[in-house]
Structure 1
Amino acid sequence: MEFKDYYKILGVSRDATADEIKKAYRKLARKYHPDVSKEADAEAHMKEVNEANAVLSDPEKRVAYDQLGRGYQPGQDFRPPPDWDAGFEFSGRGASPGEAADFSDFFAELFGRMGGARGFAGGQRTQFQARGEDHHAKVLLDIEDAFSGATRQISLRAPKSDAQGRVTLETRTLNVRIPQGVHAGQIIRLAGQGEPGFGGAPAGDLMLEVQFRPHPRFRAQGRDLHLSLPVAPWEAALGAVVQVDLPQGGVKVRIPEGTQSGRQLRVRGKGIPGTSPGDLLLDIQVLLPPADTAKAREIYQTMARELAFDPRSQRRT
């Protein structure tokens, strides 16, 4: 996917004000609008101009684009890093399905899922009262929080426009109670922490979409917990009972006799807790001890003679 320089498309500087962006867009719209333009490829140019304006005229999209696109050049290969939008607070004015479909893949990749699921917070705006919009943000937690529950201090960055239309990031910090059993994709609702209401109506809510930070041992999938479990050759060949440490407590697991690398064992109910707790899924890795001493080499040589084992002739199931 190629990086798009929206500032270059509109012909404005990166510190352009909202008025400067609006004027540049109108000028280009008069030049490329398919109904009046005689320029070659006017329709394709107009689509690019519309896409650039949709991003740079929206404070939230603009600040996200600025943060993510630093150092990239037009046409350069571009892939947004995982969870790039974690910690950004967005209003309900995300990319509509129509925008994501009409514009480029670059636009859809950045803004089609920006800030998680979103939508307008119920209630139509009237002349007198309107409930504030819900805001949305993705937050990264540790898997351990799902087992014990916790109260975490979470900082969110929200784009704001000043009087000149320049966009800045403001940070606010909240103490958030993380319930035990929380899982990736779950929404934590903070009542009244969204956009203020109009005309005395209540504020919207802040919707926090939970994702987990990468963990050195575990990988969560829903409420299931995946773990690569190393075992010794004799444990795999003869069977054994081994201790598996979990984020909270541990469990003894029976390794069946004749277990091979790549086999997956399921321990029911030992994943992320909840009304229906997830399972613990163990991917077995048989690890060989090193032949780095005379005794170890002697043992391996004895095995080679006595077992007469050729793994390349074995039928694997």
Structure 2
Amino acid sequence: MEFKDYYQLLGVTKTATAEEIKKAYRKLARKFHPDVSKEPEAAQRMQEINEAKAVLSDPDKRLAYDQLAQQYRSGQDFQPPPDWDAGFEFSGRGFEEADLGEFSDFFANLFGQGGRSGRGSRGYQMRGEDRHAKVFIDLADAYQGATRAITLQVPQVDAQGRVVSREHTLSVRIPKGVKEGQHIRLTGQGSPGIGGGPAGDLFLEIHFTPDSQYRVEGRDVHQRVPVTPWEAALGASIETPTPSGPVKLKVPAGSQTGRRLRLKGRGIPGPAPGDLYVELEVVLPPADTDRARQLYSTMADELAFNPRQRRGG
């Protein structure tokens, strides 16, 4: 899949106003509309023009696209970076699959049902639109609950008709037991109503900040815990940090890297709390002193251990 430069497709600059984008679209549509155009590949060009207009004429999509476009150029191999749209507010729920048939895979991957920046929701005449945003929290907040200040990027059109970004900072209560993908609803924090109608709501889609120590599956949490060779070989009682606080952990004798220990109910809290799965990782001390090298040499001589030799063979 190739990256599409929508500004290039419409022949406008990245600072083009909404009116300039509209004029450029109309000019190109008169030239390439399949009903009137004799240009080769007019239908394909018209599809690209419609797609560019759908993004650049929508402040929500344009703001997020502009940030993404800083890292790519037209025609470059492209896959949407994970969570490329996090931290932006968007209206509506996204394009349905049936609506995407006339657009490219590039557009569908960014702004389809899985994308945050969809088409404005229909059916409301007085109530403001609901808005959506993907946000990240620490795993510990799901265990304990917390109140956090979360700042989102919101598009707005300035006096010159250009799309600019403003920050929208909210104090958000993170409920204890919230799961990845769950939505927190902030009543009245969406778009303003029309004609005095009530404002829409803001829905925050919760994701956990990536952490190399933890992996989350539903309410279950997987954690890697380093142990020494003697703790693994002889067994030990160790203390290790977890998202819910430090715990005493019994390491069975003869443990190897990859052994999993289940701590029931130590996962994300809830009516049926998840479990915490501890995966042991045996870590060797460095042979960076004469004494350490001597000890390793003694082990090599006295243990006569070859991990590559099959047992019984």
1:273 paired residue number: 269
Contact kept, 8 Å, 1:116 with 1:138, in 2: the verdict is no
- CA separation in 2, counterparts of 1:212 and 1:219? 10
> What TM-score do you get using the length of structure 1 for normalisation?
0.89
Name the structure 2 match of 1:111. Answer: 111
* Alignment equivalent of 2:210, drawn from 205, 209, 214: 214
Take 1:30 and 1:315, find their aligned partners in 2: how far apart are those partners?
78
- Superposition pairs of residues 239-254 of structure 1, within 5 angstroms: 239-254=235-250
What are the Cα deviations for residues 115-134 of structure 1, in whole angstroms up to 9, with x where unaligned?
Answer: 3899738xx345xxx22211
Worse-matched range after superposition: 305-314 or 202-211:
305-314
The corresponding residue for 1:52 is 52
Residues 264-290 of structure 1 deviation map (CA, whole Å, 9 limit, x = unaligned):
222221112222212112222111122
Determine if the alignment matches structure 1 residue 120 to structure 2 residue 116. Answer: no
RMSD (CA atoms): 2.4
Please identify, of 11-20 and 216-225, the stretch whose mean Cα deviation from structure 2 is larger.
216-225
2-structure distance, mates of 1:23, 1:133: 27
Counterparts of 1:9 and 1:21, CA distance in 2: 11
Which 5+ residue runs of structure 1 have no aligned equivalent? none
CA contact (8 A) 1:116 1:209 kept: no
Partner residue of 1:238?
234
1:288 pairs with one of 274, 284, 290: 284
- CA distance in structure 2 between the aligned counterparts of 1:152 and 1:22, rounded to whole angstroms: 40
Q: CA deviation at 1:249?
A: 2.1
Shift of 1:162: 3.5
Amino acid in the other structure paired with 2:222 = H
Answering whether residue 200 of structure 2 is matched by residue 204 of structure 1, we say: yes
Structure 1 residues 119 and 235: alpha-carbon distance in aligned structure 2, compared to 1, 3 A threshold: farther
Note if contact 1:118-1:136 (Cα within 8 Å) is conserved in structure 2.
no
Residues 245 and 210 of structure 1: CA distance in aligned 2, closer, same or farther (over 3 Å)? same
Which deviates further from its counterpart, 131-140 or 156-165? 156-165
* TM-superposed deviation, 1:302: 2.6
Q: Which amino acid aligns with 2:48?
A: E
- 1:1-317 equivalent positions in 2, closer than 5 A: 1-92=1-92, 94-112=94-112, 113-115=114-116, 120=121, 124-126=123-125, 130-314=126-310
After TM superposition, give the deviation of residue 14 of structure 1 in Å: 1.5
- Residue 247 of structure 1 deviates from its aligned partner by 2.9
Give, in angstroms, the shift of residue 7 of structure 1.
Answer: 0.8
* Displacement of 1:23: 2.0
Query: For residues 268 and 290 of structure 2, what CA distance do their matches in structure 1 show?
Result: 46
Please give the TM-score of this superposition, normalised by the length of structure 2.
0.90
Q: Which moved more, 1:43-52 or 1:245-254?
A: 245-254
Q: Displacement of 1:35 after TM fit? A: 2.6
Distance 1:229 1:100, change over 3 A: farther
Cα distance in 2 for residues equivalent to 1:221 and 1:49: 41
Change beyond 3 A, Cα 1:96–1:16: farther
Of 66-75 and 159-168, more deviation after overlay is shown by 159-168
AA partner of residue 116 (structure 2): G
